């Protein structure tokens, strides 16, 4: 049994009923882990410098830019919309309210795909995120 299989205990119907903020909560950690792993594998930076570099990918403004440049299906756009429009009651420190809303939508999409084990599509999107962020 794969590591990920041990973590996911809900079925698709239960996942679809979750709050988009729950998807975003999971998506935030999945995306952060992906970026940290990517930087560990592609750079020779020390941990502090990797952290500084990772901010370029994971800050709200970067996620909003990435999201606006992704080619998404209609279903994925709906997931993003649900995440973006969910009441959060959190005021961002280093981003506009619009950037924060879009980054929440981005993280909701990543979390939704991860929880539903849509690994191939998740990988495609994460790889595209790197390309977009580097431009």
Active site residues: 28
Measured distance CA(101)–CA(50) in Å, rounded: 26
The total of other beta-carbon atoms located within 10 Å of residue 92's CB is 17
């Amino acid at each position: 049994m794969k590591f990920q299989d041990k973590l996911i205990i809900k079925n698709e119907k239960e996942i679809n009923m979750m709050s988009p903020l729950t998807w975003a909560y999971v998506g935030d950690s999945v995306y952060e882990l992906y970026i940290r792993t990517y930087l560990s594998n592609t750079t020779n930076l020390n941990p502090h410098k990797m952290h500084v570099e990772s901010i370029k990918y994971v800050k709200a403004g970067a996620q909003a830019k990435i999201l606006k440049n992704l080619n998404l299906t209609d279903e994925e756009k709906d997931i993003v919309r649900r995440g973006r429009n969910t009441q959060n009651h959190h005021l961002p420190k280093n981003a506009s309210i619009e950037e924060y809303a879009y980054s929440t939508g981005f993280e909701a999409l990543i979390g939704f795909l991860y929880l539903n084990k849509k690994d191939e599509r998740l990988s495609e999107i994460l790889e595209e995120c790197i390309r977009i962020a580097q431009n």
